[in-house]
Structure formats: structure tokens, C-alpha cells
């Protein structure tokens, strides 16, 4: 640190501030991830009944497409 022009009596303060900044960044990241996880859990709880019907409709739509595609293929 002294090589970059920092006075020797400021080195401990510089290291302390750097480490505190890193720890605050880590706490913010963990807090953000926990907030996103909580939001996803709340959202899924509210939409669980609606999402329950998505898969059967997707499967039915694909099956209908395949039936129509194969019927049209017979005429060609």
C-alpha cells in the first residue's frame, strides 16, 4: 500500500474500510437473494392453482397440433 502513495499511518484504516466494504457488499447480495427467494415463494403460492392447469393445456395443444398435422399428411 505504501508503494501506491498511501502514508504508512493510513494503511490500517484503508484495510479496515476495504474489508468493511466487502462485507457490506456480501450482506447486500445475500439479502437480495433471500428477498428474491421469498418473493418467488409468495408468487408461487398465489399462482399454484392457476399454474396447475398450464401443463395439461400445453400437452393438449401439442397433441391437437400433431393430430391435425397427421390428418393433413394423409391428404397429400
pLDDT at 43: 87
Whole-model pTM? 0.54
pLDDT truncated to tens, each residue of the chain (76 aa)? 667 777 878 888 888 999 999 999 999 999 999 999 999 998 888 888 777 888 899 999 999 999 999 999 888 7
The grid coordinates of residue 52 equal 396447475
Q: Compute how many other C-beta atoms are within 10 angstroms of the C-beta atom of residue 9.
A: 7
pLDDT at 2: 67
pLDDT at 75: 81
Domain boundaries, the chain: 2-75
pLDDT at 11: 82
| Whether 14 contacts 6, CB under 8 Å | yes
Please state, in angstroms and rounded to a whole number, the distance separating the CA atoms of residues 14 and 64: 67
Please state, in angstroms and rounded to a whole number, the distance separating the CA atoms of residues 45 and 35: 15
pLDDT at 1: 65
User: What element of type H or E holds 49?
Assistant: helix 11-51
Amino acid at each position: 500500500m505504501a508503494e501506491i502513495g498511501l502514508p504508512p499511518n493510513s494503511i490500517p484504516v484503508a484495510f479496515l474500510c476495504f474489508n468493511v466494504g466487502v462485507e457490506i457488499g456480501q450482506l447486500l447480495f445475500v439479502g437480495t437473494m433471500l428477498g428474491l427467494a421469498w418473493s418467488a415463494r409468495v408468487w408461487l403460492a398465489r399462482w399454484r392453482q392457476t399454474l396447475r392447469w398450464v401443463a395439461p393445456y400445453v400437452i393438449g395443444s401439442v397433441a391437437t397440433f400433431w393430430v391435425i398435422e397427421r390428418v393433413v399428411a394423409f391428404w397429400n
